[in-house]
Amino acid sequence: MIIGLGADHAGYHLKNIVRSYLQQQGITVRDFGTHTDAPCDYPDFALMVANAVAQGECDLGILICGTGVGMSISANKVKGIRAAHAQDPVTARLSRQHNDANVLCMGGRIIGAELAMEIVSAFLNASFTDEERHARRVHKVQMLEKRYTEGETEREPAG
């Protein structure tokens, strides 16, 4: 498994802790930065990780900014990405099981290192259930994504 990892300055320290944790678990990590705590812009790192996941260069992604919200919003702009903002292990697990999330977003100024490891573990150890109701809903999300990336903007429900 290859995990794409990225953070802005507010998530820099937690990113380094997560990277070490993943490596201790024997997981390959592609660290897209930032590599310093100097101020920088979260969309830049969200885009790099999301593109790597969308293009199949990484199996999953983990993004960390101050709250996790900016990374989630940014990563979800990339076609094929279902980025989930999680502040607890249950949300992280269910995002994979029910929503087929492929990117985890966390807040470096919101959660501590110990909780972050629990969230990461829950995310990585879960997989999509593929139950009909969840598959149907993820398919609808994919149809919305397709509709809006191809320039159609009607307001009726997808598929």
Residues with a catalytic annotation lie at: 65, 98
Judged by DSSP in three states, 115 sits in helix
Q: How far is CA 146 from CA 2, 131, 139, in A?
A: 26, 22, 10
What burial class does residue 92 get, using C-beta atoms within 10 Å of its C-beta: 0-12 exposed, 13-18 middle, 19+ buried? buried
Instruction: Collect all residues with Cβ–Cβ distance below 8 Å to 151 and sequence separation of at least 6.
Output: none
- What is the 8-class DSSP label of residue 103? E
Q: Where are the beta strands (DSSP E) in the chain?
A: 2-7, 28-31, 60-65, 83-85, 103-107
For 33, list phi and psi in degrees, rounded to 5: 95, -175
Instruction: Collect all residues with Cβ–Cβ distance below 8 Å to 38 and sequence separation of at least 6.
Output: 9
